[in-house]
A and B are shown apart, each in its own frame.
Chain A
């Protein structure tokens, strides 16, 4: 049982260390501005300090934290006449890793990553945040649904639509050529 200020501070510190980088990255994807993402991350944790998580069996902690961050973002956007930032200022900040020893493959991976990131930035926010939360932040569909406040089926259809849009945008980089319609067994 956590009681008193010391306990609350320990709990807060655990939460902060666990989530601050994820929340910053998530907000950076949402608002596409480094300094704003920094401010909103801090604001998110101020809210967490003020209103610490209460035990509730039906509410996963991770989705709860992301939801607070998203609310902070929406609140800011409503109040600030939100402007999106154009691409180009984010390439250097990724923690992406290309640890393949082959420089050719590393280069190809880097190019593909850049193409995917660029395409992701061009996706409408509705679809982008599903991909960021689910495929990059590894939130389960139920968690994404809780963060966005929509049914799980809606998350699924947005995800499918997002991948379809990405596929069109990435036609040159990722080349899934149409296959023959035959689906005969190929087990050899």
Chain B
């Protein structure tokens, strides 16, 4: 991803999901982190400025308009058109990032991220999107939040919320997650436990931790992906004559060495993404499917939360707490920690050594 593309995303300032694809670049690029720090501060200030409060008598006056205005008959109802779908395509990008598909543009090779962005753009006119992935056994080492291990996973995305649920072959609901972008609430059910968290601190602070960092400490698989992101080589790009199927082969040479393929299928008529498959092959191992979206249905109305997130009886509810702490560590500097805990158990953690 190029710096100019990253700046464009940062200037957008809407929705933390949109920022996921730029995080790897921010980790590696000081200039963009500096720009991100400025933009986040300004955008936070803009958000906190809020709106001018309307005077108390404004609404009654507006509501009284029909009483003194002549009636004009209309037969048409208000179009049920939600705002343009800002987060369209993000799920695809999330899957792509999770799968380690961090392919940067080289020479004349098309930039995969640009392609995905244009796909997201093409999806923007949808009022909601319903994605279904079936029968995939996904890489067990991928981050747990991204793993699709059940027989059927469904994702609904709109500009207001993201729902995801997994259903076993016998129809049993094994997990679901709901992210409400408006209220900043996150709830996730898995194996008899319902986790509820206020993600507002993440929204407000997660990228701030990265942007304000002099050094960043990331663990596990994500660390390997980020460390290797700059070394990704695009080996080949193939596309059908009408460009409805495009595939990229890539190689990550440094440890752990890995090759892979991403296959994107576009609808010829609408240019919308209709499926995505990502394969990876570690050295000396067989190629395996690591991410798949095999059916995307467009313009499907968002299901009601009540029908979607049916909490099975006997479910224990626990509160997850997200916090960002800052402390001075002698000989190290100012350290900022982002923590998500359930009770005393840390379920997510990120540390950053802050700028002086």
Contacts and interface: CB of A to CB of B under 8 A. Distances in A.
A115 B48 CA distance: 12
A164 to B, nearest CB: 10
Contact of A8 (B62, B74, B216): B74
A94 B49 CA distance: 6
B210 to A, nearest CB: 11
Contacts of A109: 44-45, 48
B124 A142 contact: yes
Q: Secondary structure of the A side of the interface?
A: helix
Nearest to B3: A183
A42 B65 contact: yes
B50 A96 contact: yes
B11 interface: yes
Given A60-B84, A174-B42, A97 B48 contact: yes
Given A1-B77, A140-B84, A163 B66 contact: no
A186 to B, nearest CB: 5
B171 interface: no
B14 A138 contact: yes
A159 B10 CA distance: 11
Contacts of A79: none
Given A177-B34, A178-B34, A46 B58 contact: no
Contact of B78 (A9, A61, A167, A184): A61
A182 B46 contact: no
Contacts of A45: 62, 65
A97 B47 CA distance: 9
Interface in A31-52: 34, 37-38, 41-42, 45-46, 49-52
Interface residues of B, number: 66
A interface, size bucket: 35 or more
A53 B52 CA distance: 26
Contacts of B63: 13, 16
Contacts of A143: 83-84
A51 B43 CA distance: 35
Nearest to A25: B51
A140 B124 contact: yes
A87 interface: no
A37 B63 CA distance: 17
A183 B30 contact: yes
A84 interface: no
B173 to A, nearest CB: 33
Contact of B46 (A3, A55, A116): A116
Contacts of B44: 109
Contact of A116 (B7, B42, B53, B71): B42
A2 B28 contact: no
B48 A159 contact: no
Contact of B65 (A12, A94, A166): A12
